Amino acid sequence: IKRPLLAAESDVIFGGRGMTLEQTINDTNTYYRQQQRAVIYKKPTPIQIVKVDYPQRSKAVIREAYFRQASTTDYNGVYQGRYLDFEAKETTNKKSFPLKNFHEHQVKHFQNCLHQQGICFTIMRFASLERYFLTPATLLLKYWQQQTNGRKSIPLTEIIKTGYELQIGYQPLLDYLGAVDQLIQKTQQMD
Amino acid sequence: IKRPLLAAESDVIFGGRGMTLEQTINDTNTYYRQQQRAVIYKKPTPIQIVKVDYPQRSKAVIREAYFRQASTTDYNGVYQGRYLDFEAKETTNKKSFPLKNFHEHQVKHFQNCLHQQGICFTIMRFASLERYFLTPATLLLKYWQQQTNGRKSIPLTEIIKTGYELQIGYQPLLDYLGAVDQLIQKTQQMD
Ligand SMILES: [Mg+2]
Ligand SMILES: [Mg+2]
């Protein structure tokens, strides 16, 4: 969603209510770009194009195409010299975040980016609780690797302990760069 | 292009002949990922989807969609903690690279990424000369801003002086990370 926030819409938009997590993050990223705080975009959905018509005097029309599996995560970009890479996910669960919301290729992509010292995380929304967390990708990787042994979700208690809770606001709607600063600090301490 | 290089194809592929610049770079990026040297992808083309059919027992078919103008550059990713962002362009000119090959939004995106300390450049192919250069985005910006005063292209002599010539090889096809190392070094010296 590319339109700027209008003051008249603020009571609708405030609290992110009625918007998807993706819209909330996209609006936040637009704000960050306008304020020159970070340059982060959602990647377009990859499409396999099979047939295109070129009507005279008007623009090309795609007439047959298919959705392809994305090989990476939703978002990436640059912030103060750092490469950021993240995935946005929501659940209606109240006590844990299901691993089935993630795909093998996303987990693999996080591993590859972490190996290159990227800053990798997920933004998780617990819709029923209306709580948001920025969670280091390393926590996802830990539970992902253990899941053959049983547990198929990340407990909320663990997310609270390891992640950073985000607050819904007005401008930006979901200010997550403060949490990114904390994650970067923590990552540097572990180096 | 996702398929791996086959030895039997090497005489066809060698020298990048018969491949577009984009295919050559995509193959190089696949190799870099396999070798865990960098995680760089081409961004999918943004599409505006208007109509989707959901046939029974088969996958969704996009029946009407349009190409949208990309708001960023072709490629981005992470390399040794650095955010890389670049555009790939070719010309048949022999003495200069035309500025009309670039779009205002790409130039603006480079400015924004440079402001966040991203490593920004173009990979230029002079097709008639079969010469390749990694050119810092700052050179493009300089000529872009001056173009109202006359000159509408970047002289090859300037590209040779400011950029890094790349050699076509076998694996990877177009090894550009060495030039990236040099660009990073030069950027740090100027800080
Ligand atoms: Mg997502
Ligand atoms: Mg291009």
Distances in Å between the alpha carbon of B141 and those of A35, A55, B112, B159, B176? 21, 36, 12, 13, 21
Which of A48, A83, A107 best tests the B interface by mutation, with the highest count of B CBs <10 A?
A: A83
CA distance A154 to A147: 10
Query: In this structure, is residue A17 part of a structural domain?
Result: yes
pLDDT band at residue B3 under the 50/70/90 scheme: very low
For A77-101, write each residue's pLDDT tens digit.
Answer: 999 999 999 999 999 999 999 999 9
Residue A82 CB-density burial (10 A; 0-12 exposed, 13-18 middle, 19+ buried): buried
Query: In this structure, is residue A113 part of a structural domain?
Result: yes
Q: Phi first, then psi: give them for residue B97, nearest 5 degrees.
A: -105, 120
Helix (H) or strand (E) holding A129: none
Chain A to chain B, count of Cβ pairs less than 8 Å apart? 104
One-letter amino acid at A69 equals Q
Query: In this structure, is residue A52 part of a structural domain?
Result: no
For B55-78, write each residue's pLDDT tens digit.
Answer: 888 899 999 999 998 889 999 999
The chain A residues in contact with chain B (CB within 8 A) are 33, 36, 38-39, 41, 43-47, 59-67, 71-72, 76-83, 85, 109, 112-113, 115-118
Full residue range of the structural domain in which residue A134 is found: 7-43+71-190
> Prior bond to A172 cis, omega within 30?
yes
> Prior bond to A4 cis, omega within 30?
no
Residue A123 CB-density burial (10 A; 0-12 exposed, 13-18 middle, 19+ buried): buried
Q: Does A109 contact B63 at a Cβ distance shorter than 8 Å?
A: no
Query: In this structure, is residue B184 part of a structural domain?
Result: yes
Query: In this structure, is residue B55 part of a structural domain?
Result: no
Minimal Cβ distance to A65: which of B39, B46, B65: B65
Which of A2, A62, A121, A180 best tests the B interface by mutation, with the highest count of B CBs <10 A?
A: A62
Secondary-structure breakdown of chain B: helix, strand, coil percentages, each rounded to the nearest 5 = 40, 30, 30
Whole-number pLDDT of residue B57:
82
Give residue A157 CA to ligand 1 midpoint distance, Å.
22
DSSP state at residue B34: H
pLDDT band at residue B124 under the 50/70/90 scheme: very high
Give residue A86 CA to ligand 1 midpoint distance, Å.
9
Helix (H) or strand (E) holding B58: none
Domain of B29: which CATH number? Answer: 3.40.1350.10
Number of domains composing chain B: 1
Query: In this structure, is residue A95 part of a structural domain?
Result: yes
Residue B24 C-alpha, separation from nearest chain A C-alpha, in angstroms: 19
Query: In this structure, is residue A78 part of a structural domain?
Result: yes
Q: ipTM of the assembly?
A: 0.88
Ligand lying closest to the C-alpha of residue B125: 2
Percentage of chain A beyond pLDDT 70 is 90
In A, minimum Cα distance to B46 occurs at: A44
Q: What is the arithmetic mean of pLDDT over A96-119?
A: 97
Ligand lying closest to the C-alpha of residue B124: 2
Whole-number pLDDT of residue A131:
97
Q: Does B65 contact A61 at a Cβ distance shorter than 8 Å?
A: yes
DSSP state at residue B173: T
Query: In this structure, is residue B85 part of a structural domain?
Result: yes
Protein residues near ligand 1, an ion, with CB under 5 A: A 74, 88
